[in-house]
């Protein structure tokens, strides 16, 4: 995201980064502190989808497509679904 983030945007951005790293983690680097930024390039797109009101199914499809097309990992559906459900909860928490 470019420019200055407001408090809600900053909180969601941080939460998305955590969910992608610790829950989605299609390449299995969550246990490696030096790889904490591995998925940062996907955070802005996921935040945009969340702000647009995307539901878990849309988010899961996006994450699965990223895993397949960008990483060559065809079996990321289950992790994508779990991450997507968690992201929807975080959106609700951040935007209360």
**5 — pLDDT class (breaks 50, 70, 90):** confident
Per-residue pLDDT tens over the stretch 33-92: 899 999 999 999 999 999 999 999 999 999 999 999 999 998 888 999 999 999 999 999
Q: What is the pLDDT of residue 76?
A: 82
Cα 56 to the center of its chain, rounded Å: 11
pLDDT for residue 3 is more than 80: no
Q: Taking the alpha carbons of 6, 8, 9, 12 in that order, is the dihedral positive or negative? A: positive
- CA–CA distance, 77 with 94 (Å, rounded to integer): 25
3-class DSSP assignment, residue 21? helix
């Amino acid at each position: 995201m470019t420019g200055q983030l407001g408090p809600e945007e900053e909180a969601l951005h941080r939460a998305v980064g955590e969910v992608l790293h610790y829950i989605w983690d299609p390449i299995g680097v969550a246990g490696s502190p030096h790889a904490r930024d591995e998925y940062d390039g996907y955070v802005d797109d996921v935040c945009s989808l969340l702000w647009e009101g995307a539901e878990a199914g849309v988010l899961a499809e996006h994450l699965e497509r990223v895993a397949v097309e960008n990483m060559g990992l065809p079996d990321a559906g289950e992790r994508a679904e779990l991450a997507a459900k968690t992201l929807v909860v975080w959106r609700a928490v951040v935007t209360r």
